[in-house]
Amino acid sequence: SEPMFPQSQLTPHIPETFPKDFTIRALSRDDINNVKASGYLDLLSQLTSVGAPDSDVLNARYSSMADTKPLSYYVVVIVNSANKIVGSATLVLEWKFIHEAGSRGRVEDVVVDKDHRQHGFGGLLIKTLVSLARSLGVYKLSLECKDELIPFYGKFGFVKDVNFLVQRF
Ligand code: 16G
């Protein structure tokens, strides 16, 4: 199944309250090879534009993320009992010379399927990634979000900081 990282790395960070009929685990190459069944791109399309990358492109992207050294992409998914992905969030590490040649963490692409909201899956994903990021030793962890989600992320320790500037291409 080739998970992006070993489950043993995730287990210590999974909240006790995680519901039994769902599983939180690393994204695997199988999810990408069976993208119709896994629902991964359909899920991401509930966040933003996905386009139509073919399976070669998806596999190459998976490899480019999974082959980083040290591992810099922790794509975490929540699956139901049929192994369909109903939620996902990614922790990205950005390696630095500053902060003792440390790393900064970013929480990216947080999305929960519209039919699986209000069950606390978003919070479970964030709690898991914050704990994982802390254990990996990032010196700070950040994310970008819409104004209305600031109170949600605030529950997990995030506070509004510097301005975020962007240029779109
Ligand atoms: C949100 C996401 C970001 C994602 C972006 C996509 C979180 C915390 N933030 O900002 O990770 O990449 O939306 O929107 O999930 P875009 O296509 O407009 O960049």
Task: Provide DSSP, the chain.
Answer: --BSS-HHHHGGGS-TT--TTSEEEE-BHHHHHTHHHH-HHHHHTTTS------HHHHHHHHHHHHT-SS--EEEEEEE-TT--EEEEEEEEEEE-SHHHH-EEEEEEEEEE-GGG-SSSHHHHHHHHHHHHHHHHT-SEEE----GGGHHHHHTTT----S-------
Q: Does the CB atom of residue 109 touch ligand 1 within 6 A?
A: yes
Span from the CA of 66 to the centroid of ligand 1 (angstroms): 21
Q: What is the pLDDT of residue 44?
A: 98
Q: Does the CB atom of residue 75 touch ligand 1 within 6 A?
A: no
Residue whose CB lies within 8 A of the most ligand 1 atoms, among 144, 150, 165, 166, for a mutation test: 144
Q: Does the CB atom of residue 150 touch ligand 1 within 6 A?
A: no
Which residue numbers in the chain have pLDDT < 50? none
Which residue is closest in CA terms to ligand 1's atom 6?
48
Whether ipTM > 0.85 holds is yes
Residue whose CB lies within 8 A of the most ligand 1 atoms, among 44, 48, 90, 150, for a mutation test: 48
Domains of the chain: 7-154 (3.40.630.30)
Q: What is the pLDDT of residue 162?
A: 87
